[in-house]
């Protein structure tokens, strides 16, 4: 399949790009950062996402969504990254909807209408330590009456404090390090015996450390099948990882564009600094790396949409390459801005902060480079 957007996808891009630039530019992020917003994003903007149809991209038409794929979700996420738009799109419309697509009709009917309408927010509660290691989930889900009792802790749950429900991975069998015996649950925010401690991340987004002390859920809260949650979790992780890679492409592109504009404006020694060949070479190298990373991400999205067996490998290729390239873009951006790049007056530093937060989300470049090696038989 050609590595470029088709006509419908390009039309979606033409819709998403001006919307993000006008309704939620970098100034929008600064506003919510400076007001110390407890959620870190605008619920009014989230409602506008729903009105634009973005929130239901991955939901099926039968459930009221658009029935599109990961390429289309990536189009929206790239523009979110380009403008550093604070929103729960990745955790809700990508991770949450992917999980709900594997759930019973009762759960879909409970949550999808609110998500599609831009009213409901979901969060993904997977990690239990400082680093992303989904195979090591140890949180217990013990049978209790007609349901389960959840006990354990989850760390750095992005949008956890503002979520209406959490998609929680817990162990109904087996032991930490095994993929068998995992089960996913949809846990309502008002569940008893659940406590949260909010944490503001480097990029001003909000996360939560959550403790489950015998939280009771019914059997209807199970997403997929009991003990077979790994098959659902793999789909959720693949969708969210490639989604975060798309957002990193946007972050890197935004940082690169800002830097190139600065090279055309800043004068040193009586000349525009963009006239110095050394900086031209660095800008050209960055552009080529961004295009390679964008192609890798698009390839992964296309394979996911096709249901290819190679999708898992390419998702990690995309996350590793996007992570390394976005890191290059923000570091080069700060350096080429000189000392001013280290100040809050210029937006380039905000791009570096978003890049660092996204890089750690669901596995950094080193984690996914290692997965590429393992999946390739090394």
pLDDT at res. 368: 97
pLDDT in tens, the chain (378 residues): 789 999 999 999 999 999 999 999 999 999 999 999 999 999 999 999 999 999 999 999 999 999 999 999 999 999 999 999 999 999 999 999 999 999 999 999 999 999 999 999 999 999 999 899 998 999 999 999 999 999 999 999 999 999 999 999 999 998 888 899 999 999 999 999 999 999 999 999 999 999 999 999 999 999 999 999 999 999 999 999 999 999 999 999 999 999 999 999 888 888 888 888 999 999 999 999 999 999 999 999 999 999 999 999 999 999 999 999 999 999 999 999 988 888 888 899 999 999 999 999 999 999 999 999 999 999
List the one residue out of 91, 156, 79 whose CA is nearest residue 121: 91
Q: How far is CA 161 from CA 60, 89, 90, 113, 258, in A?
A: 27, 15, 15, 21, 33
**Rounded Cα distance, 9 and 302, in Å:** 12
Superfamily of domain 230-375: Butyryl-CoA Dehydrogenase, subunit A, domain 3 (1.20.140.10)
pLDDT at res. 323: 97
8 A C-beta contact, residue 92 and residue 121: yes
pLDDT at res. 298: 98
Q: For the stretch 316-347, what's the b/e string if a residue is b when 16 or more beta carbons lie within 10 angstroms of its beta carbon? A: bbbbbbbbbbbbbbbebbbebbeeebeeeebb
| Topology classification of domain 7-120 | Butyryl-Coa Dehydrogenase, subunit A; domain 1 (1.10.540)
The ranges assigned to domains in the chain are 7-120, 124-227, 230-375
pLDDT tens sequence across 222-231: 999 999 999 9
pLDDT at res. 153: 96
pLDDT at res. 48: 98
**Rounded Cα distance, 18 and 24, in Å:** 10
pLDDT at res. 177: 84
pLDDT tens sequence across 301-350: 999 999 999 999 999 999 999 999 999 999 999 999 988 888 888 899 99
Residue 148's DSSP bridge partners are 143, 217
| Topology classification of domain 124-227 | Butyryl-CoA Dehydrogenase, subunit A; domain 2 (2.40.110)
Provide the sign of the torsion angle of the four alpha carbons 52, 53, 57, 59, taken in this order: positive
**Rounded Cα distance, 60 and 100, in Å:** 10
Count the Cβ atoms, other than its own, within 10 Å of residue 100: 25
Here the tokens at position 252 are 């890197």
What would you report as the CA-atom Rg of the chain, rounded to the nearest whole angstrom?
A: 21
């Amino acid at each position: 399949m050609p590595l470029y957007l088709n006509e419908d996808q390009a039309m979606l891009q033409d819709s998403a790009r001006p919307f993000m630039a006008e309704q939620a530019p970098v100034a929008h992020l600064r506003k919510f950062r400076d007001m110390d917003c407890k959620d870190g994003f605008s619920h009014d903007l989230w409602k506008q996402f729903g009105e634009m149809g973005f929130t239901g991209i991955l939901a099926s038409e039968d459930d009221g969504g658009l029935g599109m794929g990961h390429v289309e979700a990536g189009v929206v996420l790239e523009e979110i990254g380009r403008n550093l738009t604070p929103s729960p799109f990745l955790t809700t419309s990508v991770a949450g909807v992917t999980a709900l697509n594997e759930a019973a009709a009762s759960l879909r009917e409970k949550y999808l209408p609110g998500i599609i309408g831009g009213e409901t927010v979901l969060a993904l509660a997977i990690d239990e330590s400082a680093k992303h290691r989904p195979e090591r989930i140890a949180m217990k889900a013990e049978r209790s009456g007609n349901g389960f009792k959840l006990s354990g802790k989850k760390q750095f749950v992005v949008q956890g404090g503002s979520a209406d429900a959490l998609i929680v991975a817990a162990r109904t069998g087996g032991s930490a390090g095994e993929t068998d015996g995992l089960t996913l649950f949809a846990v309502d925010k008002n569940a008893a015996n659940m406590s949260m401690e909010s944490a503001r991340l480097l990029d001003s987004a909000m996360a939560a450390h959550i403790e489950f002390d015998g939280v009771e859920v019914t059997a209807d809260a199970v997403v997929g099948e009991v003990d077979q949650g790994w098959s659902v979790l793999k789909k959720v992780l693949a969708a969210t990882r490639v989604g975060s890679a798309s957002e990193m492409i946007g972050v890197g592109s935004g940082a690169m564009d800002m830097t190139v504009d600065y090279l055309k404006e800043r004068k040193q020694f009586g000349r525009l600094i963009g006239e110095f060949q050394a900086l031209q070479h660095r800008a050209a190298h960055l552009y080529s790396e961004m295009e390679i990373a964008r192609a890798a991400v698009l390839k992964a999205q296309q394979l996911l949409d096709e249901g290819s067996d190679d999708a898992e490998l390419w998702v990690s290729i995309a996350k590793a390459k996007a992570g390394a390239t976005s890191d290059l873009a923000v570091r080069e951006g700060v350096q080429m801005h000189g000392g001013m790049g280290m100040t809050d007056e210029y937006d380039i530093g905000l791009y570096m902060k978003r890049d660092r937060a996204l890089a750690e989300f669901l596995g950094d470049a080193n984690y996914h480079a290692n997965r590429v090696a393992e999946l390739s038989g090394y």
